[in-house]
Amino acid sequence: MTITYKDEAGIAGMRVACRLASEVLDHLTPHIKPGITTREIDRLAAECMKTQGSISATLGYQPPGYPPYPASLCTSVNHVVCHGIPNDKPLKKGDIVNVDVTVIKDGWYGDTSRMFIVGEASIAAKRLCALTYEAMWHGIVQVKPGAHLGDVGWAIQKFAESNGFSVVREFCGHGIGQVFHEEPQVLHYGKPGTGEELKPGMTFTIEPMINTGRREVRELGDGWTIVTKDHSLSAQWEHTVLVTPTGYEVLTLSAGSPPPPAFVQAEPALA
């Protein structure tokens, strides 16, 4: 599989799909509080997508060797790293949950996720969510023509590990466009100057999974859910990014998106 470079029409399509994905998370935000089930979050998301005229990319999604994914989004609670399937267990005060949304609009895919803190959480849980968000942005600000994917991975790894966290290695970001997962793979660890060179028109996700404990993970029997082996908390944030002629553009932004960290606002690469 080769990397696809989006032209102006493709970029316009990506902007719409990515904004809509982010707006689903905006719609869910006020509902995510103690007592709601992740299945209800999924139902609310499906309603929102219907209103938008978008469709879920995850519902029925079946890569080779996997069962069909049964929900409109992924909800990964506490020690669940990714691909958590919505269920009927109510969220409780102190939980942290990643909600990962991918929509399709007019053939284009938009993919984003956010962490939500349910009620009041521990200092450790809040720190993990905040620093994972910063780790994602440390990767994003590396994006510009002539940079390499290794620069993105190294920036994330260096920041996470310097704060005492570990980076999950088994899952990565990915190219995205008219296909859910395309080249390149975007690792969240690596060495500067290595990997694919970034060029204008590339679109891909940056979505680090960061653990408070060890980085090892395991898969549950449902064929999808990934958890930390040591049962430590895990967090993830995700944006879809475009390489522009001068730097980057974050495509998955909407009115309710959390603002970038302070160090980003002074970043000259922001297109």
Residue 1 lies in a domain: no
Q: What is the tens place of the pLDDT at every residue in 247-269?
A: 999 999 999 999 999 999 755 54
Q: Give the Cα separation of 251 and 59 in Å (integer).
A: 22
Residue 238 predicted with pLDDT over 80: yes
Q: What is the CATH number of the domain that holds 73?
A: 3.90.230.10
Residue 143 lies in a domain: yes
* CB-CB contact of 71 with 99 (8 Å): no
Q: Give the Cα separation of 57 and 121 in Å (integer).
A: 31
Q: What is the tens place of the pLDDT at every residue in 116-169?
A: 999 999 999 999 999 999 999 999 999 999 999 999 999 999 999 999 999 999
Angle at 204 between CA 138 and CA 86, to 5 degrees: 90
Q: What is the tens place of the pLDDT at every residue in 58-69?
A: 999 999 999 999
String of b and e for 47-84 (b: at least 16 CB within 10 Å)? ebbeebebebbbbebeeeeeeebebbbbbbbbbbbbbb
The band of 227, judged by pLDDT with boundaries at 50, 70 and 90, is very high
Domain that holds residue 129: 8-265
Position 24: which residue type? Answer: V
All residues at 6 or more sequence positions from 161 whose CB lies less than 8 Å from its CB, including other chains: 167
What pLDDT was estimated at residue 1?
59
Average pLDDT taken over every residue of the chain = 96
Task: Bin 115: left if φ > 0, else alpha if -120 < ψ < 50, else beta.
Answer: beta
CA atoms within 13 A on the CB side of 36: 23
Quote the tokens at residue 260: 């970038």
**pLDDT mean over 190-219:** 98
Position 64: which residue type? Answer: P
Residue 270 lies in a domain: no
Residue 123 lies in a domain: yes
Residue 61, beta-bridge partner list: none
Beta strand pairing call for 80-82 and 182-186: unpaired
Quote the tokens at residue 255: 């009115």
The band of 189, judged by pLDDT with boundaries at 50, 70 and 90, is very high
Residue 271 lies in a domain: no
Number of independent structural domains in the chain: 1
Angle at 104 between CA 33 and CA 54, to 5 degrees: 65
